[in-house]
Amino acid sequence: MGKRRISREAALQVAYAREFTEADLPQTLTLVGQLGSHGDEEGLRVADDYASAILAAMDERESEIEDILVDALTGWTLDRLGAPDRAVLRVAVGELLAMPDVPVRVLINEYIELARRFGDTNSARFVNGVLDRVCQNLGRKDAKTPRKPAGRS
């Protein structure tokens, strides 16, 4: 598993934990780090610079992220989403804001995979649609990459 994928997953685990606690970010990092120390061999690498940057953006720009998500949700509210989907979307938008150099297609694909792994059977498709709309709303030009017609080079 790549370093950024590990970092994204660690950030997701922290975001998910924050769904169920009123703890601030440092307290949540401590809690998740303690729980993760008994997990798989890679454990949680929340101290990693990349995960830390995503988490810092989520913490500092929480209300902006909420607004961005509310604007992108059609016929849904954040409260209606399951906790895993909400956490995936918050982390993804946090990374989108904190790491403008990451290509949108890479970012969306990474979070589709996390939604598939941690969400329900519809999560990946839902996350894909919402993140695509977020990118379009934010004017990220690489949000919809036109495909080349078949048979042309």
- pLDDT the model gives residue 10: 86
Q: At what angle do helices 123-137 and 104-118 cross, to 10 degrees?
A: 150
pLDDT, tens only, 74-113: 888 999 999 999 999 999 999 999 999 999 999 999 999 9
Residue with tokens 């695509």: 132
pLDDT, tens only, 6-44: 889 988 988 888 888 777 777 777 766 654 444 444 444
Q: Give the up-direction half-sphere exposure of residue 50: CA atoms within 13 A in the CB hemisphere.
A: 18
pTM: 0.81
Residues 6+ apart with CB under 8 A from 83: 16, 19, 20
Predicted confidence (pLDDT) at residue 147 exceeds the cutoff of 70: no
